[in-house]
Structure 1
Amino acid sequence: MSGPEDGQHAEAREARDLAAASLRRTLAELRVDPRRGLSHAEVQARRGTYGYNEVIEKKRHPALALLAKFWGASAWMLELVIVFSAALGKYADVAVVSGLLVVNAIVGFVQERRATGIVESLRTRLQVRARALRDADWRIISARELVPGDIVRLRSGDIAPADVELLDGTLRVDQSVLTGETAEVERVVGEVLASGSVVRQGEGNGIVLATGARTSFGRTAELVRMARPRLHIEAVVASLVHRLLIIVGTLLGVVLVLAFVRGELRLDLAPLALVLLMSAIPVALPVMFTVSTALGSRHLAEHGVLVVRLSAVEDAATMDVLCVDKTGTITMNRLNVAGVSPWGGATESDVLAAGALASQEANQDPIDLAFLTAAKDRRLFDATSAPTVVSFAPFDAQRRRTEAVVEVDGRRLRVMKGAVRTIARECGIEADALDTLAARVRDAAQRGHRTLAVARGPEDGPVELLGLVSLYDPPRPDARQWIATLRDFGVTVKMVTGDALEVASELAREVGLKEIRRPGELRAANADVASAVLAADGFAEVYPEDKYMIVARMQAAGHVTGMTGDGVNDTPALRQAEVGIAVSTATDVAKAAASVVLTEPGLIDIIALVDEGRRTYQRILTWIINKISWTILVASFVAVAYVVTGEFVISAFAMLLLVFMTDFAKIALATDRVRPSRAPETWKIGGFVAMSVTVGVMMVAESLGLLYVAWSHFGLAVDDRAVATFSLQLLLFFAVFSLLSARERRRFWASAPSMPLLAALAADVALGAALPFAGLPALLPTMVAEPLRLRLRGRDVPSRQRLRQGLLPRSVRQSSIVELGDPPRWR
């Protein structure tokens, strides 16, 4: 009779047989030897057939992107100006404003395309990496180079680079990117991992079935989502612009009410009102921010820092706490065998040989590589009599060991390495001996060494402890230096690691970090967790949720936090941090979660990130200071001048010219020379706002004083085109000199502007000086100023006679202001 268990065993055998048959068919169809992989010639031939493992991204047509520039607050206001000017029959204004609208769209389009090109070029360096077997040699290649038939190695933290059928091993995978379901599923031999799936646990080899657009999820290469969360600076600017619109709107309301009371309310006031409102809107703000952060990203790329999300450049300026992982970040992530402690009658060679057999080179795991390197250096295995690996069980968090079955001289042995207590339990070590082992582990830990136990035994029998091996991951030579430098920049550095407290503490002392705690102390310190976090230099024995908690607590306390990481366990904290930094050895999942990716080992390049972020901050702050003061100047100048003269001293057309000339010159601020601060920046800029308002009010007083002199003594009252010309040039020169002053936090001559900024301002000055001679509507050539000056004073009777006789230019004779009689007065 056969019972239920016999039926289950039969089903299991049948499943294994079907999987084996499926694998044989797959290998036969793809013509590949799983022990050697594809040859270089076979790869080239298949690439010619299947192409690269990528999906060509469909992008919006450039024409549609250009048309989008005609949609938005600034574009709408310009279009309203065009409509009002057409209704008033001012077709010259319509043509010029339409030209300005088109120029605005083209400049914004071109600059954003350049910035996008920079970011795209950086993203190409963030390709998914894959471990592939080619010509019997395991190598790490770009997933883009995979072809059907490639043998690949998958392990925890990897993203399946293509559709892969599993040849050996058991994996737990997350398919949420495909299905939206967060529950993990198991994949065994013969089953397929869909492209884009994330390996959460286990490891194994697989064969690539399909690549590129033929995969079930054909966008593997698009790991880095260019998410654009709202910038901190955008919130600040939005608040400032809101207040500026209130100020300008209030001033315009006063002017329109006064015009109504005076009986001077006209339809042609509408375009001017719109233009004044537009002066409070940051016309060139998106372009300036995009160019500034994109140029900063390109500069950082030269230092090996790839900015995935442009906002990270600005966030780096305000970052005041940086949490860093230990392994691979502070340390070399290159374990070396520091010592071997045999147990019983075993020798050092026995211990290292067994440990090497319980390792696998394809994983590129630092612990495995340390054992394999030590065995190779001591020549423990002969090339002709090397043991054959029958099976291999990788490390996982539950078993806490690696295990292999190997065949040596015709007999099979079971070898394992792992946590000392775990291996000791498998070996049946008694309590007294366990205390001796614990003492050796503590002694090694005090020197910053990590200790593993190695055991060996028959395939189906008990295993025997061979000894202990201590491993050491030395700190990077520059670790102490960059930690000290970041402290000088006002950034607090905290080490966060899953290693034991003793190991972490010893290493921390070597790099200048003193107090290392366990995260359990934070859970107990509920009253003031943030203070407890700040008081420590780091934390050991942490889990992924602890890293996330540390970052979240710091943010809740008002700190801008950075986090470095390389593994799946770092992903929650990398996503939570304002500046998530994936190190050069990071897994694909960690890179996808980060906003910055380092391409060079170590963290010295983070200093460049902080420096560039603070430079970008200073440029944006200069823009804010100048925008506030200049908007107050323009709106108050027009409003107050109308109140005291009864005339609008600048036309809508002249105002439009002024807005565009000044705003687009400010884009060059993205290239300006600035001095980064030595402390983290903050967007609590109340003092700078107050200073901007003060500067704006002072410029209003100065400009009105100059207008009074010109009005009273240089004949501006006779022709409103002369007033518009004077006001245009006055406000233009104020804009230029106020920008030169605002760009420096010290004396304005302390540093020279960048050449692009200087060229932009010089072009503005030259254009402003040339405009009156261009014959543009509502602008008067300055050569008419002298006869008008004499006319206004009333002292030149022949000039008044010539005015009656039509001897002055038509532009003066046709002016609605010029009449025979007393000239207009400054009220």
Structure 2
Amino acid sequence: EGLTAEEAAKRLELYGRNELPEHVDPKWLIFLRQFWAPMPIMIWIAVIIEAGIQNFIDMGILLLIQFANGSISFYETTKAGDAVAALKSSLKPSATCKRDGKWQVIDGTLLVPGDTVLLGSGSAIPADCRVNHSEIDVDQAALTGESLPVTFYKGDSCKMGSTVVRGEVEATVEFTGAETFFGKTASLLQEHHEYSHLQKILMKIMMVLVGLSLTLCIINFAYLLAEGVDVQEALSFTIVILVASIPLAIEIVTTTTLAIGSKNLAKHGAIVAKLSAIEDLAGMSILCSDKTGTLTLNQMMLQDDTPIYCDGETQESVLVLAAMAAKWKEPPRDALDRLTLGSVNMSLLESYEQTDYLPFDPQTKRTEGTVRNKETGVEFKTSKGAPHIILALLPQSSSNIRDQVEKDVARLGECGIRSLAVARTISGTDTWEMAGLLTFLDPPRLDTKQTIEDARHHGVQVKMITGDHLLIARNTALQLDMGNKIFTAERLPMLDTETKTKPKNLSADYGDLCLVADGFAQVFPEHKYLIVECLREMGYTVGMTGDGVNDAPALKRADIGIAVAGATDAARAAADIVLTEEGLGTIIHGIILAREIFQRMSNFITYRISATLQLLLFFFIAIFAFHPKFFHMPVLMLMLITLLNDGTLITIAYDYAEASSTPNRWNLPVLFVASSVLAAVSCLSSLLLLHFLLDSWNPDGLLQSLGMAGVQYGQITTSIYLKVSVSDFLTLFSARTGQLFFWQVKPAPILMAGGLVALSISSLLSIFWPDSEPDGILSQGLQGQIGLFAFVWIYCVIFWFIQDFLKVA
């Protein structure tokens, strides 16, 4: 009768819902995290100082930038996660359960131990269940990686996550949720709360800039106090250096670049659940892949090799005999019927009728059909089944045939090819004769071999990790040209049985094995997990592709977990990237896209470090070099430089970029050297210009010798604002071309347009800036000094060429 609704409710309260525990951070917490990192903390410090000296306008500007930065980062971070959540919610599990004596379809998460469920062909097994009667064939590929279905009889326990492919039985739920077979490995799916490679790089860059900034700020503040400047004025000078050191848009631009990249990947059939996975994909050097359903189709297909043992028989005639041992006019009952009936020419069966049929039975382990030729009236029997079962039907006199069949089965088995024996009776007798062997294999996907070749071409080594038999794994590796170093799990360690922790010296003891192997066979989920972890410990960026529950722990642990199309819910939940189209070609396209995105981010970060160092060192040196004027700029002008230049630099996400032929790795020393060269030229040119402007009233000075009039101090402030704005943006065009000259790589039209907009606005602001004293600093527009405006522009372009030449040199 099943459980009553009342009893089921009690057990639901006792055992909990039938789902794996999944930790999801609330969105308010994700939002708050955007304001707790080195860069936001620097802005908070600046806000507090501005409030302390009662400069509320600048404080408001900084707060506006802080919340704009955090909001954009929050939006881009949660958007991709919501897309995957929507994909998961479209696959709501259900179960046919007997409650209060009636069969009803209920939410699968509401099942409890003791429930009676109906397991029918095509249905997913909703929990760990024990079969009550008869038998069913179950596809466990998602759990174990096995290609063929397994038969479960009365009393056997079938596991959640597998699928019924033949038969229908009632079963009793034994375990639900975390207590199921897969639930017990949930410890392998726990969040490790590790920073991504990109987060670590940005963190290091932030810490270097923050450390340098704080050091210079302290030196600057102490020097000003020693010179007799009052505390409030010294703080106003110091805050300029502090704000100048904050790379305000670095996270916005990198996040937006990744988000735009994720949209491009989505167009090609890949949903990105974690944006940082794109950067990891660019650096991926090893790709571990499940076999069944990932490298292969997870569909048994007939092979050309068909050993024949009767004169006149062909593969086609053997297929006809095999179909006669099935209900060929009805839907296939199991995987073997599906294989046979899907391959046979049905028109060849039209002249026959089936007079009797013996279905598959656990005792006989074969099927048998009695057929009659409607034209001749001749009647005979056919049978199909495992070779050793069919051989038992042959008479003792067929020893030669028996020996040949056994040799052929052994030969095929060495290649991992499975065999289905087909026999028939001689007309008018009950004597059986062997017709032939039908051979079948789960073939690779059509694009798999090319995908592996493309991966190697891009510097990514592909390793196969499967739960299937060693011989089958070796055959698949042979077809895909993946190498012959395929080992079994016997060589691999296991997790600690009690603590579920990895071995202490994992990479030291097993690193060489994991690195040299082309693949592993007959592995359990924790083996896949440990292989990935071992390679990660050795410093490799590791990707993992899979589709089954048995792949989920490794997908979670890998730097880039990729769930293929049709993957189980558990695999999708554990993955960083979810493919929505068949085949692995999307992964190669993703690698190319990711490396282009990496190049854009690298170009931008080089520019951003350069621009920050230029501003930081310029204002620091200016205080010492131009005593007693202590030149500094209003915070408002600094914010305008950042908002205009960095704001329009979001267009760099659409810039032209060339993917590298090898995995990308961050090289911070080289990055800082390149940035320092660019910054040094910009800083030096800014200091020289400031000197020329302050010296403009000197009859022997450069400006006077060029016939230009002396410059008022307010216009000096605006001129330096224009110079920093222009040279900052021109520096980007040097940074984006790497070791080439800026004119050798054409910028994307949208980046060019963004640059023109930013430079035009900065130019107009410098000309029409009203006479004012923001932060107590005199500022005047250059509308009466158009010659000075042109001089600053020409000066910037000349030093841009010098900067680019030194970069290449």
Q: TM-score, normalised by structure 1?
A: 0.67
Q: Encode CA deviations 1:507-562: one digit per residue, 9 max, x unaligned.
A: 43443333242236855999874444444433444444443343333223222122
State the Cα deviation string for residues 464-487 of structure 1 (Å, max 9, x = none). Answer: 998854103344443332222211
> Which of 108, 111, 124 lines up with 2:86 in the alignment?
124
Q: Which residue of 2 aligns with 1:707?
A: 690
C-alpha separation between the residues in 1 aligned to 2:135 and 2:697? 91
Higher mean C-alpha deviation, range 672-681 or range 693-702: 693-702
| CA distance in 2: counterparts of 1:608 and 1:375, whole angstroms | 38
Q: Name which of 764, 776, 780 aligns with 2:758.
A: 764
Give the Cα separation in 2 of the matches to 1:388 and 1:654: 89
Q: Where does residue 806 of structure 2 map in the other structure? A: none
In structure 2, distance between residues paired with 1:527 and 1:428: 59
Following the alignment from structure 1 to structure 2, what is the Cα–Cα distance between the partners of residues 383 and 130?
42
d(CA) in 2 for partners of 1:747 and 1:402?
78
Q: CA deviation at 1:275?
A: 4.5
Q: CA deviation at 1:609?
A: 1.1
2:92 paired with 1:109: no
**Matched residue type, 2:457:** D
Q: 1:753 aligned to 2:747?
A: yes
**Counterparts of 1:227 and 1:693 in 2: how far apart (Å)?**
36
Residue number among 662, 667, 692 corresponding to 2:675 in the alignment? 692
Match of 1:538, as an amino acid? G
- 1:736 partnered with 2:736: no
Aligned to 1:443: 411
Give CA deviations for 1:315-360 in whole Å, capped at 9, x if unaligned.
11111112233333333433223366689999946973598579x9
CA distance in 2, matches of 1:402, 1:644: 98
Query: Within 1, Cα distance between the matches of 2:284 and 2:611?
Result: 30
Would you say the 8 A contact 1:356–1:375 is kept in 2?
no
CA distance in 2, matches of 1:131, 1:693: 60
In the TM superposition, 1:446-457 aligns within 5 A as 449-452=417-420
Change (3 A) 1:527 1:633: closer
Cα distance in 2 between the residues matched to 1:237 and 1:402: 66
CA offset at residue 88 of structure 1?
4.7
Instruction: Give, in angstroms, the shift of residue 747 of structure 1.
Output: 2.1
2-structure distance, mates of 1:519, 1:123? 36
**What's the offset of the Cα at 1:128?**
2.4
Taking the aligned partners of 1:506 and 1:616, their CA distance within structure 2 comes to 37
The partner residue of 1:237 within 184, 199, 202 is 202
Q: Which amino acid is the alignment partner of residue 721 of structure 2? A: L
Equivalent residue in structure 2 for 1:555, among 536, 543, 557 = 536
SS at match of 1:704: helix
User: Which residue does 2:287 correspond to in 1?
Assistant: 322
Paired amino acid for 1:689: F
CA distance in structure 2 between the partners assigned to 1:762 and 1:108 by the alignment: 27
1-side partners of 2:253 and 2:724: how far apart?
A: 22
AA in 2 matched with 1:661: L
Q: Is the 8 A contact 2:50 2:58 kept in 1?
A: no
Matched residue of 1:713: which SS?
A: coil
Q: Which stretches in structure 1 are left out of the alignment for 5+ residues?
A: 1-17, 27-56, 134-142, 175-186, 209-216, 218-222, 394-400, 457-463, 790-827
Any idea what SS the aligned residue of 1:590 has? helix
The 5-angstrom pairing of residues 782-821 of structure 1 reads 782-783=781-782
RMSD of aligned alpha carbons: 5.8
Contact in 2 for aligned 1:228/1:310 (Cα 8 Å): no
Q: 1:165 to 1:528 in 2, by over 3 A?
A: closer
Q: 1:316 to 1:58 in 2, by over 3 A?
A: closer
Cα deviation for residue 639 of structure 1 reads 0.9
SS at match of 2:744: coil
Write the distance in 2 (CA, Å) between the matches of 1:785 and 1:574: 65
Matched-pair contact (CA < 8 Å) for 1:251–1:639:
yes
More deviation, 444-453/647-656: 444-453
Q: Is the deviation greater in 122-131 or in 297-306?
A: 122-131
Among 260, 271, 288, the residue aligned to 2:225: 260
The aligned residue for residue 40 of structure 1 is none
Residue 301 of structure 1 is aligned with which of 266, 272, 280?
266
Give the one of 463, 470, 478 matched to 2:447: 478
Structure 2 counterpart of 1:5: none
Secondary structure of the corresponding residue to residue 410 of structure 2:
helix
Residue 197 of structure 1, CA deviation: 6.2
State the secondary structure of the residue aligned to 1:124: helix
CA distance in 1, matches of 2:442, 2:652: 45
* Whole-angstrom CA distance in 2 between matches of 1:678 and 1:760: 30
Moved more, 623-632 or 147-156: 147-156
Alignment of 1:637-648 (within 5 A): 637-646=618-627, 647-648=630-631
TM-score when scaled to structure 2?
0.68
- In structure 2, C-alpha distance between the alignment counterparts of 1:506 and 1:407, rounded to whole Å: 33
Measure how far apart 1:384 and its partner are.
Answer: 9.0
Return the offset for 1:167. Answer: 11
In the TM superposition, residue 253 of structure 1 has moved relative to its aligned partner by 1.8
Relative to structure 1, the CA distance from residue 557 to residue 129 in structure 2 (aligned partners, 3 Å threshold; closer, same or farther) is same
Question: Residue 742 of structure 2 aligns to a residue in which SS?
Answer: coil
Q: Is the 8 A contact 1:544 1:572 kept in 2?
A: yes
Cα distance in 1 for residues equivalent to 2:631 and 2:402 = 94
Give the fraction of aligned pairs with identical amino acids, expressed as a percent. 26
Aligned pairs for 1:248-397 within 5 A = 248-338=213-303, 348=318, 352-353=322-323, 369-374=338-343, 377=346, 379=349
Is the partner of 2:299 in helix, strand or coil?
Answer: coil
What residue number does 1:515 align with? 484
What is the identity, as a one-letter code, of the residue corresponding to 2:763? A
On the 8 A contact 1:654/1:779 being kept in 2, the answer is: no
Superposition deviation, residue 74 in structure 1: 5.3
Q: Which amino acid aligns with 1:630?
A: A
CA distance change for structure 1 residues 61 and 505 in 2, over 3 Å: closer, same or farther? closer
Q: CA deviation at 1:496?
A: 3.4
CA contact (8 A) 1:112 1:291 kept: no
Query: Which blocks of at least 5 consecutive residues in structure 2 are unaligned?
Result: 9-22, 97-105, 141-151, 172-179, 181-185, 372-380, 425-431, 494-505, 699-708, 789-809
> 1:454·1:469 contact (CA, 8 Å) conserved in 2?
yes
- Cα offset, 1:678, TM superposition: 0.6
Letter in 2 for 1:636: L
Q: Partner of 1:580: helix, strand, or coil?
A: strand
Give 3-state SS (helix, strand or coil) of 1:678's partner: coil
Rounded to whole Å, the distance in 1 between the matches of 2:351 and 2:540 is 54
- Tell me how far 1:788 sits from its aligned partner: 14
Q: What does 1:196-235 correspond to in 2, within 5 Å?
A: 198=161, 230-235=195-200
Amino acid at match of 1:352: A
AA aligned to 1:597 is V
Cα distance 1:260–1:471, how it changes in 2: closer, same or farther (>3 A)? Answer: same
**Residue 570 of structure 1: how far off its partner (Å):** 2.6
Match of 1:673 in 2: 656
CA contact 1:665–1:760 (8 Å) conserved in 2: yes
Q: Which letter maps to 1:750?
A: Q
Does the 8 Å CA contact 1:714/1:785 hold for their aligned counterparts? no
Residues 477, 483 of structure 2: 8 Å contact kept: yes
CA–CA distance in structure 1, aligned partners of residues 240 and 433 of structure 2: 84
How many residue pairs were aligned?
Answer: 686
Q: Distance in 1 between matches of 2:680 and 2:213?
A: 14
Please state whether the residue corresponding to 1:673 is helix, strand or coil.
coil
Question: Hey, what does 2:148 align to over in structure 1?
Answer: none
Deviation at 1:145, TM superposition (A): 13
| Structure 2 CA distance for partners of 1:637 and 1:563, relative to 1, 3 Å | same
Give the corresponding residue for 1:98: 60
